């Protein structure tokens, strides 16, 4: 590992040129009729110390004014009820990423609800039937709203708390900041959209540029890692920690896997039980493995040894009640991903029904297509019957990776006749072809899109319809 740089990462990564637009602060609306016992989540402008203090604070949009937003924590089977209050100057919603809930609570603007106008409110109310690590974020103009800071963790605890010494939630965010530490507002940048997306120049963990927590040798830490970046794929490693991957995208693995390093695409999560092996006076690290070196993302300075030193390998976390698909007579579908720079896509259809050339598509802010269609239309990718077993072959015909996310369900990758771990987001590398399967047991209209939010904005967005 390269020595941790003396200069903050903000310096190491360099600055992106560009002017930050001033934010329009909406007048605070009067909230008539709020129920006394309702708890609000306010989406609003705020500021955060994301970089060393000599650079000043960054203007952000944030839930309850904090980066990350208020931690939501409940037990499996409990209800969550929150009133979204929109104090932004543009419409928004909240999507509860990875939660298998009723369609009306999914927060997909234009599909499951109308976006909440500035000054408006919306009551979200659902039961968390699966334990695990989830998160929440806007689902309207997501590229800008998530990039400006709107995201938070949603933790659903197992009925029985696993035996760990600490439970740490690490939301990793990628910011594109100018030399005044302000968010660069080039959200319509077609070059980014047609390539790898909006890659920033500053990573934070829980909004901190130098996350550090004291630990003891022999402690078992539960690290709940959430990639909230708009477009950046993270490759994470560890030093001074010996770990097991316990869950992916909230869902426990049947058999914990030794943790070496792991790729986390935007929106993906990993729960890792990490045993501190670093000795007193040393520092353990969660690292980001990058092209130009390995850098500390989170530091765990070790003061002393805990009383118990060696732990047996962890037992699997209890599984969640997700039905396994039967592969034999499952319905088979294809999802072909096309477009982007260095791709071969010649034309695609847009929502108005017109077929356009790549050049015309770019003129309309579109660079990608799913099954020949760029952007949301009123036609779903598929209409399924409730309870149907489905297999979808994902074909990435582009030169870029994509993080395909299905709402309302978790799916499993099919390899031969075996089913992989449950996931809600799958990272598809360029030219890859993979198959997923799931039971379409949750009725409603569910988005299926690339979670690289630049790609989503530029056309990689569709949906499936499951009849009730």
Tell me which residues touch ligand C2O (CB under 6 A).
95, 97, 137, 139, 267, 405, 407, 447, 449, 451
Q: Is the dihedral of CA 456, 457, 460, 462 positive or negative?
A: positive
Cβ-based nearer residue to ligand C2O, 300 or 446: 446
Partner that binds at residue 452, options Cu ion, ligand C2O, none, CB closer than 5 to 8 Å by kind: Cu ion
Cβ-based nearer residue to ligand C2O, 232 or 407: 407
Map residues 367-406 to x or -, x wherever contact with Cu ion holds by CB under 5 A.
-----------------------------------x----
449 binds Cu ion (CB under 5 A): no
Cβ-based nearer residue to ligand C2O, 137 or 423: 137
Region of residue 110 (phi > 0: left; psi between -120 and 50: alpha; otherwise: beta): left
195 binds Cu ion (CB under 5 A): no
Contact 299, 360 (CB under 8 A): no
Burial category of 162 from C-beta neighbours within 10 Å (exposed 0-12, middle 13-18, buried 19 and up): middle
CB of 455 to Cu ion, least distance (A): 3
Measure the CA–CA gap between 140 and 152, rounded to whole angstroms.
16
Partner that binds at residue 267, options Cu ion, ligand C2O, none, CB closer than 5 to 8 Å by kind: ligand C2O
Contact 233, 209 (CB under 8 A): no
Partner that binds at residue 139, options ligand C2O, Cu ion, none, CB closer than 5 to 8 Å by kind: ligand C2O
Considering only CA atoms, which of 144, 229, 152, 151 is closest in space to residue 184?
144
CB of 195 to Cu ion, least distance (A): 10
| Total number of residues that touch Cu ion (CB under 5 A) | 4
Partner that binds at residue 97, options Cu ion, ligand C2O, none, CB closer than 5 to 8 Å by kind: ligand C2O
* DSSP-assigned letters across all residues of 203-228: EEETTBSSEE--EEET-EEEEEEEE-
Cβ-based nearer residue to ligand C2O, 244 or 449: 449
CB of 393 to ligand C2O, least distance (A): 21
Cβ-based nearer residue to Cu ion, 143 or 169: 143
For ligand C2O, the nearest residue by Cβ is: 97
CB of 134 to ligand C2O, least distance (A): 10
CA atoms within 13 A on the CB side of 367: 26
Cα 254 to the chain's mean position, in Å? 23
Cβ-based nearer residue to Cu ion, 93 or 398: 398
Cβ-based nearer residue to ligand C2O, 268 or 412: 268
Partner that binds at residue 82, options Cu ion, ligand C2O, none, CB closer than 5 to 8 Å by kind: none
Contact 382, 322 (CB under 8 A): no
Q: Which stretch binds Cu ion (CB under 5 A): 79-87, 116-124, 303-311, 442-450?
A: 442-450
Tokens of 149: 């800071």
Q: In the beta sheet, which residues pair with residue 74?
A: 156
307 vs 167, 244, 273, 275, 457, CA distance in Å?
A: 18, 21, 18, 13, 51
450 binds Cu ion (CB under 5 A): yes
The DSSP symbol for 242 reads: E
Cβ-based nearer residue to Cu ion, 48 or 374: 374
CB of 456 to ligand C2O, least distance (A): 7
Strand 79-86's sheet: what is its strand order? 58-63, 40-48, 79-86, 121-127
CB of 191 to Cu ion, least distance (A): 15
Burial category of 159 from C-beta neighbours within 10 Å (exposed 0-12, middle 13-18, buried 19 and up): exposed
CB of 139 to ligand C2O, least distance (A): 6
409 binds Cu ion (CB under 5 A): no
Contact 450, 461 (CB under 8 A): yes
Partner that binds at residue 402, options ligand C2O, Cu ion, none, CB closer than 5 to 8 Å by kind: Cu ion
CB of 369 to Cu ion, least distance (A): 11
H or E segment and range at residue 303 = strand 293-305
271 vs 167, 235, 335, 404, 435, CA distance in Å?
A: 10, 15, 29, 20, 24
Binding positions for Cu ion, rule: CB under 5 A: 402, 450, 452, 455
């Amino acid at each position: 590992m390269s020595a941790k740089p003396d200069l903050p990462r903000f310096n190491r990564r360099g600055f992106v040129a560009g002017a930050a637009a001033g934010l329009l602060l909406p007048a605070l609306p009067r909230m008539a009729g709020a129920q006394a016992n309702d708890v609000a989540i306010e989406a609003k402008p705020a500021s955060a110390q994301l970089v060393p203090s000599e650079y000043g604070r960054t203007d952000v949009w944030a839930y309850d004014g904090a980066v990350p937003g208020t931690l939501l924590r409940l037990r499996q089977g409990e209800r969550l009820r929150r009133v979204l209050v929109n104090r932004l100057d543009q419409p928004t919603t909240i999507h509860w990423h990875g939660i298998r809930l009723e369609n009306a609570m999914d927060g997909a603007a234009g599909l499951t609800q109308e976006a909440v106008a500035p000054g408006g409110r919306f009551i979200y109310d659902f039961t968390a039937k699966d334990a695990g690590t989830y998160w929440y974020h806007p689902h309207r103009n997501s590229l800008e709203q998530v990039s400006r800071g709107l995201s938070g963790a949603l933790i659903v605890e197992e009925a029985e708390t696993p035996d760990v010494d600490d439970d740490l939630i690490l939301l990793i965010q990628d910011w594109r900041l100018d030399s005044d530490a302000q968010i660069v507002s080039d959200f319509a940048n077609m070059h980014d959209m047609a390539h790898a997306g909006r890659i920033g120049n500053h990573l934070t963990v829980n909004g901190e540029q130098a996350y550090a927590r004291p630990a003891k040798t022999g402690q078992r830490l539960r690290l709940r890692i959430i990639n909230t970046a708009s477009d950046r794929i993270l490759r994470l490693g560890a030093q001074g920690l010996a770990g097991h991957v316990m869950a992916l995208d909230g869902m426990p693995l049947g058999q914990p896997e030794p943790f070496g390093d792991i790729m986390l695409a935007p929106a993906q999560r990993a729960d890792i039980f990490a045993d501190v092996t670093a000795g007193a006076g040393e520092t353990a690290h969660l690292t980001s493995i990058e092209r130009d070196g390995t850098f500390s993302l989170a530091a765990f300075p070790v003061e002393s040894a805990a009383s118990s030193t060696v732990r047996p390998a962890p037992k699997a976390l209890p599984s969640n009640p997700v039905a396994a698909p039967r592969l034999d007579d499952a319905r088979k579908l294809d999802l072909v991903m096309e477009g982007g720079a260095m791709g071969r896509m010649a034309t695609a259809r847009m929502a108005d029904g017109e077929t356009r050339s790549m050049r015309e598509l770019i003129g309309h802010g579109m660079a990608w297509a799913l099954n020949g269609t760029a952007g949301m239309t009123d036609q779903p990718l598929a209409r399924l019957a409730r309870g149907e077993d489905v297999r979808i072959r994902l074909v990435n015909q582009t030169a870029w990776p994509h993080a395909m996310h299905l709402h309302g369900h978790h799916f499993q990758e099919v390899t031969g006749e075996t089913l992989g771990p449950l996931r809600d987001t799958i990272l598809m590398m360029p030219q890859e072809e993979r198959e997923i399967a799931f039971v379409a047991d949750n009725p409603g209209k569910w988005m299926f899109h690339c979670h690289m939010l630049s790609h989503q904005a530029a056309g990689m967005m569709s949906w499936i319809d499951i009849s009730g």
